[in-house]
Amino acid sequence: MATPPVSPTASINATANLNLSDLLRVLLTELTNQDPLKPVDNTEFLAQIAQFATLNSTQQTTNGIQQLVGLQAVTQTAGLLGKTVAATTSSGTIVNGLVTALNLVSGVPQLTITDGAGNVTAGITIGDVQTVHQPQ
């Protein structure tokens, strides 16, 4: 029976969770089980270690950028407190009103908008905001 092909996305997701210690463990296993008559070339060995170090550095940079983007979203959203906005809700309706609260839901900032009639709409993300006005 033929095995189904592995999608490139599945391969990327599977390797995205590897860290430097996992890769060094693979390298150590490779060295332990190598053919003694054909040892790994030192240049190749050092190149593999350099690749592992580069991968680890890239992962740390990516994590730092993700944290920075999250903090920037919180800062931008907090700047909307007390401002009048027009936003589209998840159901597609447009809400106009004053931003009265900011909540973090799983690290994602969400606004609460109170319109002129006192109706409250929660769960508005920064991407849902269409226009921003200074309070009158």
pLDDT in tens, 2-61: 555 544 444 444 555 666 677 778 778 877 877 777 776 667 777 877 887 888 888 889
Report the pLDDT value the prediction gives residue 40, as an integer from 0 to 100.
Answer: 67
Q: Rounded to two decimals, what is the model's pTM?
A: 0.55
Report the pLDDT value the prediction gives residue 14, as an integer from 0 to 100.
Answer: 52
Radius of gyration of the chain (CA): 25
- Asked if pLDDT for residue 125 goes beyond 80, the answer is yes
Report the pLDDT value the prediction gives residue 91, as an integer from 0 to 100.
Answer: 87
Sheet harboring 129-133: ordered strands across?
120-124, 108-114, 94-105, 84-88, 129-133
CA–CA distance, 31 with 116 (Å, rounded to integer): 71
What band does 100 get if pLDDT is binned at 50, 70 and 90?
A: very high
Which residue in the block uniquely carries the two structure tokens 């092909």?
5
Helix, strand, or coil here: 130? strand
Helix, strand, or coil here: 136? coil
